[in-house]
Structure 1
């Protein structure tokens, strides 16, 4: 910058020549310099004020924008952040075959405390115990005043409980958002769904993992974020399942049974439309597994349909008759020697009552003759019988897609002798689950093809390997129908629906060996409609006992059959089966010809 001189020589000399005062020139230049300096200072100050004004304008705009966002968003408590892997919270829904929700996700909150931030620990404990009566006052106060800085209070709380805790007003009580599994239908299909619990947990998230049933079986699918919008579709029908549970529960109580199970299965697709095990539980509040005792069936968590390995008694007789007919050894009208008792070494096989010295194969099934069935097994032979039952899936656990099914492996004789073949022919000496039995009867009902029971919705028939010819299967179905119309399952007559089936009553084994004298497992395996079977229904009662005609009745014909008949009458319309009105006999009219 070039400064202008205060006493320029040219102007000084010119002023002196003219007789003017040179000092006036210096004063003028000083004044001009001061004026210039004031202008520059003012411009500099105005620029600074402009910049400061823009800065404050931006700051106030940012504050106003943040306040607007906070005013329109949900309030959240501050949470402590920790390093680590992110926790996946989303879990796919589970729906029934109609798309109705069986299991879904529900946003809730956890409650934890940071003790160093508590203002009044005593008041906080007093108020929390009022909100959560299950908390121990002394223990909680000791923790709040102890050395620990972080404590979980509740892993999940309701909105009402959250508001009550919020009203305490202590900054040390904090909430963490999380997702929990909700079963909106309560105990309906509890043993199928199983339940879920928390895996990895943080204050702001918790991982939901399956612990039983399909929740555990398909845990990887349900936890995959890619399947968040693709619910797992089960074969169950929610309406049918609820109705089946209601009827079976009433029947179990009426028959004074310790427990009960039922399975409704499509004979062509293998879809299990309904499966019930009682007693049951609410998966929203899944009880703890028993830690003592040797009888797992006392727990409501025990799934009798796939974990209950029982001798199912005379329900096996139809398999023996079907195999004998399929091998060409007999026909439905073949006469069999039924004189008894049938002795084999020191063992003897007897019938419930004396049915005569001989009966046809059909009559053997209708009257449920142990001797006649054992005679058929002798003709079949032990090796061929074992192979046939293996084809029916009776020798391995069922492929039913819940984790509990893996524990339902049949109990087989160590030496499959001819005597074993004779007792197995009428359902003794071999123990299977009701799910095995349902799959076996489905093969008889659909024309002789094996179908694998499944809990997943199918697109159409899933018929597998051929077990028996269509002709043999048809003859076996006819025998099952005769059992209802003429034999031990007369209580299974349902108006409008033709039912076929077979009863089975087996002595209940003692846990330490031998059998109870007054406890049985009563089973009725049925197919309907008998003329064109679409469904198999198996009903099993554990230790039933009912008084009828002045006597104590425990057999399946008096216990399991009436319950199954009531279930068919209730469920068939829900399944879309229209009743067939059977014409009554014409009485009081004489036909004449012209």
Structure 2
């Protein structure tokens, strides 16, 4: 700023000429200068006050906003914790083919204690024992009064239990949020679901991991946030599964069986619509694995994929189908089944020492002749038989999408001789799982194409390579139909659904070698409708005994067949299979007058 002089020369000279006092000019300029300085100081002070006012306003606004947020939020007790890896607790749902829920997550809490923050450890221990009677009071008091800084009390508690712990009122008892895996249908499809448990755990979250079944097989998919929690859709139909399990349970009890399993499969896609194994369990409260005794005694044992059995005469249809496919026979070819028949120094006999004489290939299957099937196997030869059974998938575990399926590897003879070829043709000397058998029968039912059993809903038909000609498959289906209409599976007839199938009864092997005389594995492998098959159903009973008559009956025709027939009667309408009149061969049209 340029200051005005206090005694400007021009004005001083002018004042002296006029006779005025020059000091008055100096005094006036001093006054003007002081007024300018005062105004400048006032403006500076007012600017500083304005800036301070804005700062105070912003500060009080931030404090007030924070106080408002705290007032609106839920109260949370501060918890000390060490920094660590973030635990991913999310897990996708599992649904059936129609979108019905099979597995989901449920919000719950875990209970833990910090003894150093407890007001009255003894009173807290006594209160907890009242809420959770299974806790050890003496152990709790020792833990609460010792040097421990942290301990879990319960990994999962109900809302009622949580409120009861709240009422104890001790600040050292705290709650950790949890995602619990929930199976809303309880035991339904338990062996498929498998179950889940906790992996990494913290006070703010817990990692839910699969321990068996599809939960473990698809564990990475279900836990992957990149999937956007998109549910895993299975091929199972919940309503069909419920009906199948109900019928199977009733059949197992009625036939006094130790265990049972069933597999229902779409013959063109390989989709498993229902699969059951009994006895079962609740995956919401999965039991501990057995550490001693026979594994099959445990409810965790999945008989459909882990149960590797000699499935008896159900294998005879494969020998007949291959013989037709190779052009060695046709359904009407006659084979002499009279004894004696020796192979490799061993006598080949018939059930109950029957002697059928000369039979057609169809009648060999209908009457279930061991000798007739064995003679076809000898004509086929060891090499071709092995190649055929391998093409059907009987040499390796299936790709069924549960972890237990990998353990269901078929048991094959160490040295495949002519004797092995004969016995395997009627289901002895080779042990496979019911899921293997279902895939084999599906190849016959769909016209000769291999299928892979799957638990995932398929968008379209998915058949593999051709393993037999359509002519051989059609002939085999015709034979299976006659087994039900006039053979060993007559109890399997279901009006309107034209069931075809084959029975199989195999003596159960002893753990120490040899076979039991009074224990069998009874199986009925069926297709329906036989003239246009859509589904394969396998029913296997472990140690059944039908006791309504004078003597106990254990064969599949008396035990497994009635159970399978009832199951078809129940599930066929649920599958949308309409009852029809079976088409007749060489139907004759009769013309009548319209009058």
Pairwise same-fold verdict (TM > 0.5): yes
Match in the other structure for 1:325: 324
Match in the other structure for 2:94: 94
Match in the other structure for 1:128: 128
Distance 1:144 1:212 in 2: 36
Q: Structure 1 435/67 Cα, relative in aligned 2: closer, same or farther at 3 Å?
A: same
Mapped pair 1:215 → 2:220: no
Match in the other structure for 1:104: 104
Contact 2:247 2:566 in 1 (8 A): yes
TM-score (norm 2): 0.88
Distance 2:60 2:165 in 1: 35
Contact 2:434 2:538 in 1 (8 A): yes
Q: Deviations 1:293-341 (Å, cap 9, x if unpaired)?
A: 2x11011111100000000000000000000110111110111111124
Contact 2:115 2:150 in 1 (8 A): yes
Distance 2:71 2:438 in 1: 60
Mapped pair 1:475 → 2:498: no
Deviates more, 1:178-187 or 1:270-279: 178-187
Contact 2:280 2:299 in 1 (8 A): yes
Distance 1:581 1:479 in 2: 19
Number of residue-to-residue matches in the alignment: 561
SS of alignment partner, residue 378 of structure 2: helix
Distance 2:281 2:49 in 1: 74
SS of alignment partner, residue 264 of structure 2: strand
TM-score (norm 1): 0.89
Return 5+ residue gaps in structure 1 as ranges. 1-32, 585-590
Q: Structure 1 135/54 Cα, relative in aligned 2: closer, same or farther at 3 Å?
A: farther
Match in the other structure for 2:575: 575
Report the Cα offset of residue 270 of structure 1: 0.3
SS of alignment partner, residue 551 of structure 1: coil
Match in the other structure for 1:351: 350
Match in the other structure for 1:414: 414
Distance 1:213 1:368 in 2: 37
Match in the other structure for 1:10: none
Q: Deviations 1:205-259 (Å, cap 9, x if unpaired)?
A: 1111111111111111111111133111111111111111111111111111111
Report the Cα offset of residue 548 of structure 1: 2.9
Report the Cα offset of residue 549 of structure 1: 2.6
Report the Cα offset of residue 73 of structure 1: 3.8
Q: Deviations 1:86-141 (Å, cap 9, x if unpaired)?
A: 11111111111111111111221111111100011111111111111221111111
Contact 2:339 2:355 in 1 (8 A): no
Report the Cα offset of residue 581 of structure 1: 4.8
Q: Structure 1 486/118 Cα, relative in aligned 2: closer, same or farther at 3 Å?
A: same
Distance 1:223 1:91 in 2: 5
Report the Cα offset of residue 61 of structure 1: 4.8
Report the Cα offset of residue 55 of structure 1: 7.3
Give the root-mean-square deviation of aligned CA atoms: 3.0
Deviates more, 1:166-175 or 1:343-352: 343-352
Distance 2:367 2:76 in 1: 72
How is 1:137-176 mapped onto 2 (pairs within 5 angstroms)?
137-176=137-176
Mapped pair 1:184 → 2:184: yes
Deviates more, 1:409-418 or 1:75-84: 75-84
Mapped pair 1:340 → 2:303: no
Match in the other structure for 2:464: 464
How is 1:196-211 mapped onto 2 (pairs within 5 angstroms)?
196-211=196-211
Report the Cα offset of residue 495 of structure 1: 1.9
Match in the other structure for 1:373: 373
Contact 1:79 1:174 in 2 (8 A): no
Distance 2:162 2:244 in 1: 38
SS of alignment partner, residue 385 of structure 1: helix
Distance 1:551 1:513 in 2: 27
Contact 1:79 1:176 in 2 (8 A): no
Distance 1:412 1:111 in 2: 52
Return 5+ residue gaps in structure 2 as ranges. 1-33, 585-590
Match in the other structure for 2:311: 312
Match in the other structure for 1:436: 436
Distance 2:582 2:330 in 1: 29
